[in-house]
A and B are shown apart, each in its own frame.
Chain A
Amino acid sequence: MKKIERKDFLKVAGGAVAGGIVGTTVSFAPFDGLQWLVEWTQDQYRPEGGEEKFRQGVCPACGTNISVRMIGDRAVKVETSNAGCSVCQTLIQQLYHPERIQRPLKRVGGKGSGRFAPVDWNEAVQDIANKIKELRAQNKAQAVAAINGSGNAAANALVERLCAAIGSGHVYNEASLDELASAAVRVSQNADGALEYDFENASYVVSFGARLFEGWGNQARMHRVLNTWKANNTTFVQIDALATRTASLASKWVPVKPGSEIFLAMGIAYKLIMNYGKGGNLPELARWNGLNDFAPDKVSELTGVPAEKIDEIAREFANAPRAVAVAGRGGKMVSSSVAEILAVQCLNKLTGRMGVPGGVFVKAKSNRLGAVAQDAVARAGLQATRKAKGIDDFIKNGEKPELLFINEANPVFTSVYGLDLANKLKEIPMVVAIATLRNDTAALADYILPATTILEVKTSRGDAVVAPRFFAKNAADIVLAIAKAVEGVAQSFPWSGHADVANLIGADRRPLASFTLNLDVLRNGLEGVQKRMESTLPLALIPYEIPLVGNGSSLALPYVLKGIGREDYAFERMRVLVNPETARTLGVGENSTVKIRSSRGKTCRVNVHLSKTVAPNTVAVAMGFGHRDHTKYGSDKGANPLEIMTADIDSESGVADWWYTRVNLS
């Protein structure tokens, strides 16, 4: 028995070996298999070589001159020579994003289905032009509307001009620092323009929640300002409800209760008037009997800032040779009320810091495009336009347009009424989005028109670094093409391309010193915040930003994702900051999974990160996450807190002041 077993075993084994040898000599399969295995594990992509050269350009986000390293016709690196913003370094990733919109896309599925098919440029432009003609033929020019982003000034000006020529006043801008400041300037200084602070010459700066070095304003300029302040020993006081990097870079950080910045501004104004004799500069405030509500002890109760501290800031502010107070809470995403900006501006007015070196100026847009030719239809349309105050007002209360342009903007994501807008878009007959990458808003459009990225734009320093890829066009050229396809409108658009238009657009700094305080706006604003503080929900929700992520438009770029730290988003979960004391009372700990709940709804699951950088009874949450549709890299990562944040629309700016929301964790 055993013998047979051995024999059989040897037979089988011998057969296997012999078969293997024969098989190997006859067939290459084993070699191929091995070769494949080697390639599988050791395969390296070899980047193509080519001639190295450097091409010059400008980053429009910050105005920095950039030099792009080219290998052959590939752009591989952006050199900024110790300048620039966080956008500059991501330009290559924007340029070569695999999900770039390559050619005009037309919706093929149902409304809002997000399914598109490519179409020819002419077909798309004609179809859109026909829609405009149709509306004008029906005398419904005011049914055209547009939402502008903040990236391309020339395109924005042309969109505004296009709507004016068609006969609609419905042009709105995505909320931004400049947009809010413009509303305040309109109310108090009767001018058209945003605020500009002369940081370079200031000796004492008080910032009311403006996170100056985390994406606020022109990031490249603020970086230079930081060095200037270090060199000049400028005193910088940061008032904020969160220990941000800006607060730590400041000479002094004044922690306040979330949302109470406006009260602190009033408290300082009170001291300036009562103790430092500055009332003469702003008699309407000095005479206002409501001012007595802002005596230091009362403000101290409202803001949590000790009365001595308020006095100290007021004294320093009054005595500093070139002091300036800065309004506009946030980084790249700013949220504030006109009342709050006015309250801060009062400090500048009281100390005579308006329109003087080291003070505050008005940055007025200069537009040399000339007058728009308007026909009867257009005039009638403009007459019939019931313009909303601002974008959120338009989304919530505005008339439903029949043709909506979305010019490199993503209001579905960046507005607190984003979800309402998403529903509304489904009912608008034609939505045209101009975008480089598919985003939350463009996905719901009827047409997506491919825009160029920054490196494909011709600049003042010469030709574009890279020729426009695919069938992309500059947003300004797209608007020009549409305008030229509509008779009666075309004559207002004589330019051949975006570069011609860009030369006619600019902004100048104007020393506007006149300032009239609208006490009603101020009073309403103060009451609004007070009411919000009385909510029964136990926690305050405040936002923060990761400079690289900003408002979330760069979340589709993998190198941005790679730069997000473990405190903010880790293991596919967004993390929110909670003070350890508060966490104890809520019964949550490090990495607990919670949902944030406000009166408007709740977020998806987020994880708790315990940190004393945030005040007790406060939750701090990063902005820019929670895209629903923003390429496969940017989608479905974390929660977009705007969906649950306060949505009270400011009566002057028409934009919701979402900065401070009462919430609970569950």
Chain B
Amino acid sequence: MNTFTECIKNEWNSFSKNTKIALAVLSALVFFFVVFAIQILFWGLGYTDMNNTFAMGLWIIGDLGFVALGGGAFFTGFMLYIFRVEKLEPLINSTVLIGFMCYLFTFILLVFDIGQPLRAWFGYTYPNWGPNLVPQSMLTEVVWCLTLYFLVLCVELIPIPLKHKVLDKIPVLHYIGHYLHRLMWIMAAVGTFLSFFHQGSLGGGMWDVLYGKPGWWRAHHQFFFLAIVGATAGGTCFMIMVPKIAERIMKKEVAPKESFWTLARISGVMFIFYFLFRVYDVYTMAVRYVPIADRRFIDLLGGYYGLWVLALELLLCLVPIAILNVKKLREQEKFLFGAVICGVAAIVFSKIGVVLNGFSIPNFPWREFAAYNPTIQEWGIMLGSIATMILIYWGFAAYLPLFPHLHKEEHHR
């Protein structure tokens, strides 16, 4: 036992000063997460700034963002295992881990967000299937797809820790890891199928069916498909961004440059699609869907989260389009990093726009745009979630074979 604590002590002493500060900050955030989690779960959602007009807020933005960005996992897996883009192999572990954590924390945030967490299982036992088992509620679909895809991600994730040099020496675990890995293409196919649906439903379909709300409603599930394209574009950027940050911190090349460039190229193309689709979406909203409710699109873009969020989203989209699609630019480290950050930000802002602007639009002509100012509890849980994700990723990167490329290099040496 003493050696165990000693070991941790040694490990801690081996960290640099900056690392220690970062760890302390992240741990503090996790601590606040726990404190506020108890408060919210036991005393209810009165402590948030959500209200009957602004029924959802920061946590839903978090859910939408996590799922869209974590959606890069399904798309990368899809590219690797189905389209056989082998160059993505060195990134796949990191991708699967990010996807897993994003989905895990989507669940966690949803548990906080619902008023009766102890009834969360009602989603499985009393699902709102309509006729012919077509889910009638977008949320029913989201809950089921998220759950199933999360299970898929678990299966995808297990081989990573099993490849740890200690665990790998245990024969049973070795074989489990091996066979699971060989099943991976099936998992990728199932994951793609599931992810395709809930990406669309949580990010888009959930909102575009709300026919009473002109700020959200669109015909033909247009926003549903838009959200899928958005997830593929932003998610792939995220899958580049995170290892790139790890690379900068660890000051080691975590994956071959070609892997990043390949993913960047895919992302760039997806961003072109996304941008065109989004512009078409804005256009149809402005000329067709909003006027049908006797309102003007520009009037809906008032308030605190209106026009500027939309404009910023579209502008941010242009950066990855301009950089990731040009070989010369995307192969320069700084440009690549900047472009993926802008790509991720574009998707995050699209979610902010959907949720905040959508809820702030007045429902009655005599009302003003609503404002929303998350309380410390909401921020605590949101930032605590992100901090936990960072810590998990850190742990995987430092102690488990998250980046096979690193170990390969070690062998070469």
Is the pair B4, A8 in contact by a Cβ cutoff of 8 Å?
yes
Is the pair A41, B118 in contact by a Cβ cutoff of 8 Å?
yes
Chain B residues, Cβ within 8 Å of A42: 116, 118-119
Is the pair A5, B116 in contact by a Cβ cutoff of 8 Å?
no
Taking the closest CB of chain A, its distance from the CB of B44, in whole angstroms, is 8
Is the pair A41, B3 in contact by a Cβ cutoff of 8 Å?
no
A470 within 8 Å of B (CB atoms) = no
Cα A4 to Cα B166 with chains together (Å): 12
B122 within 8 Å of A (CB atoms) = no
Cα A579 to Cα B75 with chains together (Å): 58
A1 within 8 Å of B (CB atoms) = yes
Contacts A37-B118, A42-B116 given: A8-B3 contact, CB under 8 Å? Answer: yes
Is the pair B116, A1 in contact by a Cβ cutoff of 8 Å?
no
Most buried by A among B4, B42, B118: B4
0/1 string, A1-34, CB within 8 A of B gives 1: 1111110110000000000000000000000000
Name which residue of chain A comes closest to B165, CB basis. A2
Taking the closest CB of chain A, its distance from the CB of B174, in whole angstroms, is 16
Cα A6 to Cα B4 with chains together (Å): 9
Cα A5 to Cα B42 with chains together (Å): 37
B82 within 8 Å of A (CB atoms) = no
A40 within 8 Å of B (CB atoms) = yes
A137 within 8 Å of B (CB atoms) = no
Cα A6 to Cα B7 with chains together (Å): 11
0/1 string, B33-60, CB within 8 A of A gives 1: 0000000011010000000000000000
B1 within 8 Å of A (CB atoms) = yes
Is the pair A1, B118 in contact by a Cβ cutoff of 8 Å?
no
0/1 string, B1-40, CB within 8 A of A gives 1: 1011001000000000000000000000000000000000
Name which residue of chain A comes closest to B367, CB basis. A566
- Give the contacts of B97-147 with A (CB-CB under 8 A): 116-119
Chain B residues, Cβ within 8 Å of A231: none
Contacts A37-B118, A38-B118, A41-B116 given: A1-B7 contact, CB under 8 Å? Answer: yes
Contact of A1 among B3, B42, B44, B117 (CB under 8 A): B3
Is the pair B3, A4 in contact by a Cβ cutoff of 8 Å?
yes
Contact of A40 among B1, B7, B42, B166 (CB under 8 A): B42
Cα A1 to Cα B7 with chains together (Å): 8
Cα A9 to Cα B5 with chains together (Å): 11
Taking the closest CB of chain B, its distance from the CB of A553, in whole angstroms, is 30
Cα A365 to Cα B117 with chains together (Å): 64
Cα A173 to Cα B7 with chains together (Å): 85
Is the pair A6, B166 in contact by a Cβ cutoff of 8 Å?
yes
Name which residue of chain A comes closest to B5, CB basis. A8
> How would you classify the secondary structure of chain A's contact residues: helix, strand, loop or mixed?
helix
Chain A residues, Cβ within 8 Å of B1: 8
Taking the closest CB of chain B, its distance from the CB of A15, in whole angstroms, is 11
Taking the closest CB of chain A, its distance from the CB of B399, in whole angstroms, is 11
Name which residue of chain A comes closest to B7, CB basis. A5
Chain A residues, Cβ within 8 Å of B118: 37-38, 41-42
Is the pair B4, A9 in contact by a Cβ cutoff of 8 Å?
yes
Taking the closest CB of chain A, its distance from the CB of B177, in whole angstroms, is 17
Name which residue of chain B comes closest to A590, CB basis. B368
Chain B residues, Cβ within 8 Å of A6: 166
Contact of B166 among A2, A8, A38, A41 (CB under 8 A): A2
Taking the closest CB of chain B, its distance from the CB of A611, in whole angstroms, is 12
Chain A residues, Cβ within 8 Å of B42: 40-41
Chain A residues, Cβ within 8 Å of B166: 2-3, 6
- Give the contacts of A41-85 with B (CB-CB under 8 A): 41-42
Chain B residues, Cβ within 8 Å of A5: 3-4, 7
Chain B residues, Cβ within 8 Å of A37: 118
Is the pair B4, A4 in contact by a Cβ cutoff of 8 Å?
yes
Cα A3 to Cα B44 with chains together (Å): 45
Chain B residues, Cβ within 8 Å of A1: 3, 7
0/1 string, B266-281, CB within 8 A of A gives 1: 0000000000000000
Taking the closest CB of chain A, its distance from the CB of B232, in whole angstroms, is 39
Name which residue of chain A comes closest to B119, CB basis. A42
Cα A38 to Cα B121 with chains together (Å): 14
Chain A residues, Cβ within 8 Å of B119: 42
Chain A residues, Cβ within 8 Å of B117: 41
Cα A41 to Cα B41 with chains together (Å): 8
Cα A6 to Cα B3 with chains together (Å): 11
Cα A37 to Cα B43 with chains together (Å): 11
Cα A5 to Cα B166 with chains together (Å): 11
Name which residue of chain B comes closest to A40, CB basis. B42
Name which residue of chain A comes closest to B117, CB basis. A41
Cα A1 to Cα B41 with chains together (Å): 41
Chain B residues, Cβ within 8 Å of A3: 166
Chain B residues, Cβ within 8 Å of A9: 4
Chain B residues, Cβ within 8 Å of A40: 42
Taking the closest CB of chain B, its distance from the CB of A513, in whole angstroms, is 49
Chain B residues, Cβ within 8 Å of A2: 166
Taking the closest CB of chain B, its distance from the CB of A33, in whole angstroms, is 12
0/1 string, B349-391, CB within 8 A of A gives 1: 0000000000000000000000000000000000000000000
Chain A residues, Cβ within 8 Å of B3: 1, 4-5, 8
Taking the closest CB of chain A, its distance from the CB of B60, in whole angstroms, is 21
Chain B residues, Cβ within 8 Å of A8: 1, 3-4
Chain B residues, Cβ within 8 Å of A4: 3-4
Cα A9 to Cα B44 with chains together (Å): 36
Cα A37 to Cα B118 with chains together (Å): 9
- Give the contacts of A204-227 with B (CB-CB under 8 A): none
Cα A153 to Cα B116 with chains together (Å): 52
Cα A6 to Cα B119 with chains together (Å): 38
Cα A614 to Cα B45 with chains together (Å): 38
Taking the closest CB of chain A, its distance from the CB of B173, in whole angstroms, is 12
Taking the closest CB of chain A, its distance from the CB of B39, in whole angstroms, is 13
Cα A38 to Cα B119 with chains together (Å): 10
Name which residue of chain B comes closest to A6, CB basis. B166
Taking the closest CB of chain A, its distance from the CB of B201, in whole angstroms, is 28
0/1 string, B157-194, CB within 8 A of A gives 1: 00000000010000000000000000000000000000
- Give A residues with C-beta under 8 Å from B: 1-6, 8-9, 37-38, 40-42
- Give B residues with C-beta under 8 Å from A: 1, 3-4, 7, 41-42, 44, 116-119, 166
The 10 A-B pairs at the shortest CB distance, nearest first, are namely A8-B4, A4-B3, A5-B7, A41-B118, A5-B4, A8-B1, A38-B118, A6-B166, A2-B166, A40-B42
Given A4-B4, A5-B7, A42-B116, 18 additional A-B pairs, CB 8 A: A1-B7, A2-B166, A3-B166, A4-B3, A5-B4, A8-B1, A8-B3, A9-B4, A37-B118, A40-B42, A41-B41, A41-B42, A41-B44, A41-B116, A41-B117, A41-B118, A42-B118, A42-B119
List 6 A–B pairs whose Cβ atoms lie within 8 Å, in order of A's numbering.
Answer: A4-B4, A5-B7, A6-B166, A8-B4, A41-B117, A42-B119
